[in-house]
Structure formats: C-alpha cells, structure tokens
Structure 1
C-alpha cells in the first residue's frame, strides 16, 4: 500500500505527461509492451529479497563486504531518494500554486508541506503503512469514480492508428515507462520492516497495479482530449477531473483530486526521506528515526526547495535527465544487486563444501 501510493503518484502524475511527449498516441502501446519485460525483472528482485537476511540486503552488504563497499554501493540509492523527494515536492508545490493556492506565497506552501512531511517521516514506517491502509481505499475509489463517470467523453478511435511515426516514439516511450515500473526495487529497501517474507505473487500483483496506474489515466487522456491536445497538458490526469460533470448541476469535483495528490505526494516524500535516514543511521527505535537526523534531512530538502528554478527548465530536466537516469539506475541496481548476492551465495556454498571435505578427511 505504501508503494501503490508513493510510486503510484509518480506513475500517475509525473510519468504520464513525459510519456505522452515522448511517444504521443503510441504511449499506451509502450505500457503494454513494457509490462511483460518488467515482469522479467521481478525474478532478480525476488531473488534479492529471498536470499537476504531479515536485516535486509544493504545491511548484509555492510556486514559481509565492509563499510567502504557498502557506502559506495549505497550512495546512488541515497542520491535517488533525495532527488526523487525533491522532484515530487517541487512538482506538488507547482501544482498546488497553479490550481488551488494562486494567492499564497510559495514560501508558505513550502513551510507547510515541509512540516507535514517532517512529522510523517518522524512517525516512522509503521505509522506510514497504517496511514496508507486508510488513505488508499478512497484514492482507488475516486480513481474508479472518475474513470466511470467520464466514459461518455471517451472516443476509442483516438487510440489509433498505431506506429504512424515508426518505431522511434515507441522505443523512446519505453524508457519512461520503465523508469516508473522498475521503482518496484524499493521493496528491497522496505524488506527489513516487513514482518512476513515477501512472496513473488505479491510482487506480481504490485507491478500489475502500478502498470494499471499508468495505463488507465494515460489511455483515458488520449481518448478524452485526443493525442495532440493531451500532450499539451501538464497534468492530464487532473484535467480529467476538471471536465467531469454529473447531470446539469454537479461539476467541479476536482477537490477529490487534491485528496489523491496529497495522499500520494506526502507519503512518497515522507517514505523516501525515512529510507534516506536509514542509510545514514542504523539506530532505529520502534522503526523510528532520531528527530535531530530527520530535522537535518528536511533542512537540506528545504534548502533545495529555496533555490529558485523556472518551471519550464524544471520539467525539461525531468524529461531529459531525471526519468531516463532513473531507468538506467534501476536497471544497473537490480542486476548488480542480484549479481553480488549470487556471488556471495556461491562463495558460501563453496566454503561449506570445503568445510565438509576437511571434516571428512
């Protein structure tokens, strides 16, 4: 539920406009093609989780390969967690300022969001998981509500013809789909906090839901607005709420979208900052971090948010650099983690055989 809310926000909000820019009308086909390929990456992720101790994969790396190797291997993950928190935070702030709080100073929006996220991180991963269990059902309910209510506005003919511009948009679009789907690697970071072993079936269901969170609003945006107009929207999923009307008198129900966005955004920032804190300290009391450490992390995030960045350049950086780099990062991280674990496992088996030979001799 934590990952459906946090990664679901990425797939639902940040990913879709960039995917539409890259692949246009073919973007929904990118999702269908990417899904079976992403399923293949579930096996190395499951292999990592299954063969890691209860303390988690990164704790095992520190214990087995030493602190230096552990730091080198952990730094890219820490950079991703901080960068992703920053991108989510700034995108959420831009959206709130544009649609709901136009007259509110940006500084005030930042302060309020920082304080809320600070307390979410301070509450700990267990509290976040319980909160996600309460928030997610309504988020899903509102998602089905908007999908069903806008059915009359959808024209399936907008989805075709496919590959009108060749295979180039399709291949380009796959990069952005994988940047969202492969974020399922975060399960490896959450393993130490899971009270029961993670099953492959659970990973399969999770990946399927995350794929649906891209495919549903993406295809709906193309069918409702057309491929050309959908590309021009910064938040295609939100625009679907703005055109919603039930009969003559019921409209402007986009405050439900506010609930969805804030639920996903705040949980995502709070969770990623918490996971970042777990890399810096091993001292956790009842799954909670030191308040001073959490305060320092959020001061760093607030400092990054205080740097003025033009919206045009911010979204350009997400499209050109952030999402493609995320895809490359997860590809390397998944394969390298599985390889390291396989080598350690092989070495343990060899060591065990040598011990058996020595005892028999």
Structure 2
C-alpha cells in the first residue's frame, strides 16, 4: 500500500468536523432530547460534559500513541487481517448508517418545507450526485470547502440567535428536575450520541500534517456542546418545552418566526444554506471514510472511482427503499441514537486499551 501523504493541518480537520457533525448536534438530535428530557434537556447537556472530557482524554491518548498513518494502520501492522476486519466492520456500518440517516432526514425536510411538488426520485438523484462529487473530490477539498462554508453557517446561526432574543423567555427553562432525575439521565443518551462523534477525528488522523493536540480536542468538544445547547435552549425559551417537543425541526421553526420590523420576514432560506452545507459535507465525508477503511487503494487524499462508485450504488439502492416517516423517526429515537452512544463509547475505550496493550508489548 502506498504511504499516505498528510494534507491537512489540525485546524482544517477541526473545521471539517464542526461542519459535518454540526448538522447532527444542531438539528437532528434536538427533537429526541426534548422528547426524552423536556425542559431539563439543557441540564442533560451540562451533565454530559464530564463524560465528553473523559472520552476526549482517551481519544487523545489513542492519537498520541498511534503512528502518523493512524490507529487502523497500527491494527493492520499488529493484528491478523481477519481481526482487523472484525474490529473495523462496526465502524463501516456506523458510517454508512449515519450517512443514510442524514440523507433521509434531509430529504424529508426538503420535501416538507421547500420541494413538496418535486418528485422524491429527482431530489434523491440530484443530492446523491452532489454528495458523490464531494466524496470524489477527496478530504483535502472537503476541508477547504468547509473553511469557506462554515463562516457563513456560523454567521447565520448567531444572526438567528440574536435576532429572536425578544421572543425568548428564560423563565421557561425553570424549574429544573420537576420530574426527577430520570429524564435528565435519559436525555444524556441523545446528547452523547452527538458529542461522542468526536471519535471521527481518529479516522481522520492519517490526513493530518501536524500533531492533533489536547487543546484542539477540548475546543472541538466545547463547540459540539454549544451546537447542542444553543438551539435546544432557544427552542424551549421561544416555544415552551411542550410545544417544542412536538416539533420535528425546532431549530428550523426558529427561522420561520423570525421577523425584522414589519417588512423583513421569511428569511428561512438562510436555513437551507446551513442544512445543505452540513449535510453534503457530512454524507460525502462519511462515505469517503467508509471507502478509506475498506480498501488499500488510496492516493493521498482521494479515492478511486472503482471504490466510490460501488459504494454510491449501494447507498442509492438503500435510499430508493420507501420508509414511513413515523417509523423512521421512531427508529432514530428508540434504536439508532442509543446504539450510537454504546458503539462510540465502546470504540473509544477499546481503542485506548488496544494502544495501551501495544505500548506495553513493545516496551518489553
């Protein structure tokens, strides 16, 4: 296998992760947190932070003690190929499932609010082709695109947060623990399903020019935390936790009530920019990482078409299967997000233990 040439500095990796995971933290998991914890959802976010800190230390330990080629390169050098596949298969399935869920959720949102009269097949084909081009461009250009897209995404986010200030009632965040501690602990499941995606940086390590340091991970974790806390507290303060928990897209509903004076309204097309930016980068990146894990045919930062095309054929085949919206969201709430927490915790802990075992073996 040709040695990979690192092409990204850690700051670029951070921007790439913020944009790709931002859609999950800022949009997709908010309804589940509200449904599980209600008004105490923001408390779940705060209580989840110590778990994130512990996970961050373990991830840093794994990164620090892995070779520049990455953790999975270390596994291939030390383990039998069958064991590497056994350990890597759940990661591949997680990447594929995450990309699929992001795509389906995006299509549902587009058809509900913007493209109700456009056939679903047309939207699916156009968006799949767009994501295909993102994956084919390679991780270097994904990071460059993230650096260009993310500033506007952040500006629009701060814009909606400050513009709707007069509609927020902070008293709706209290009292806390009115239903006991159980809802808070239940909400932590969904909060951590977003926060623990910081694990993806282990998969991106082979493309990093410089060492990923602890402060990079701490800052990244704090940003993930803010991406959840912002729209969650805003939804509760603007709509009340009862109404907010009934909404599928409370973050988007904040755009729909936005008004500046009497004549400036309907600025929700800015949300379309945010959603599409996060979705195409997230899907393109996850399919790229999936191809990176399953093949040894790598050329620095790009993947060959003979790898990408079959992946997208499988991906498109899954997308063409019609799924009822109710059961899709029920699947996310009851199965996928809880499974994601267990899976990511397992991967983070076991990866650190494997690296520790290798270091002990090597020191003898």
Q: TM-score, normalised by structure 2?
A: 0.95
Which of 81, 95, 98 lines up with 2:95 in the alignment? 81
Shift of 1:149: 0.1
1:169 aligns with 2:183: yes
Which of 236, 239, 246 lines up with 2:250 in the alignment? 236
Shift of 1:285: 1.6
Q: What secondary structure, in the 3-state scheme, does the structure 1 residue paired with 2:177 have?
A: coil
Point out 4+ residue stretches in structure 1 off by more than 6 angstroms.
none
1:273 corresponds in structure 2 to 287
Using the alignment, how far apart are the partners of 2:274 and 2:170 within structure 1?
A: 26
Which of 26, 31, 34 lines up with 2:48 in the alignment? 34
1:327 aligns with 2:325: no
Which of 264, 268, 276 lines up with 2:278 in the alignment? 264
Q: Runs of 5+ in structure 1 lacking a partner? A: 351-361
Using the alignment, how far apart are the partners of 1:44 and 1:168 within structure 2?
A: 27
Q: What secondary structure, in the 3-state scheme, does the structure 1 residue paired with 2:303 have?
A: coil
Shift of 1:286: 3.3
CA RMSD of aligned residues (A): 0.6
1:310 aligns with 2:324: yes
Alignment of 1:184-199 (within 5 A): 184-199=198-213
Shift of 1:36: 2.3
Post-superposition Cα deviations, 1:286-345, rounded to whole Å, max 9, x if no partner, equal 311011211111111111011111000000000000000000001111000100110010
Using the alignment, how far apart are the partners of 2:23 and 2:104 within structure 1?
A: 14
1:14 aligns with 2:28: yes
Which of 230, 234, 238 lines up with 1:216 in the alignment? 230
Using the alignment, how far apart are the partners of 1:348 and 1:292 within structure 2?
A: 38
1:116 aligns with 2:130: yes
Using the alignment, how far apart are the partners of 1:139 and 1:132 within structure 2?
A: 10
Using the alignment, how far apart are the partners of 2:167 and 2:50 within structure 1?
A: 30
Shift of 1:37: 2.3
Using the alignment, how far apart are the partners of 1:39 and 1:255 within structure 2?
A: 36
Post-superposition Cα deviations, 1:22-54, rounded to whole Å, max 9, x if no partner, equal 000000110011112211111110000001011
1:4 aligns with 2:11: no
Using the alignment, how far apart are the partners of 1:155 and 1:293 within structure 2?
A: 52
2:6 corresponds in structure 1 to none
Q: Would you say how many aligned residue pairs link Structure 1 and Structure 2?
A: 350
- Whichever of the two has the greater Rg, that structure is 1
Using the alignment, how far apart are the partners of 1:161 and 1:285 within structure 2?
A: 56
Q: What secondary structure, in the 3-state scheme, does the structure 1 residue paired with 2:298 have?
A: coil
Q: TM-score, normalised by structure 1?
A: 0.96
1:146 aligns with 2:191: no
Q: What secondary structure, in the 3-state scheme, does the structure 2 residue paired with 1:307 have?
A: coil
Q: What secondary structure, in the 3-state scheme, does the structure 2 residue paired with 1:309 have?
A: coil
Q: Runs of 5+ in structure 2 lacking a partner? A: 1-14
Q: What secondary structure, in the 3-state scheme, does the structure 1 residue paired with 2:90 have?
A: helix
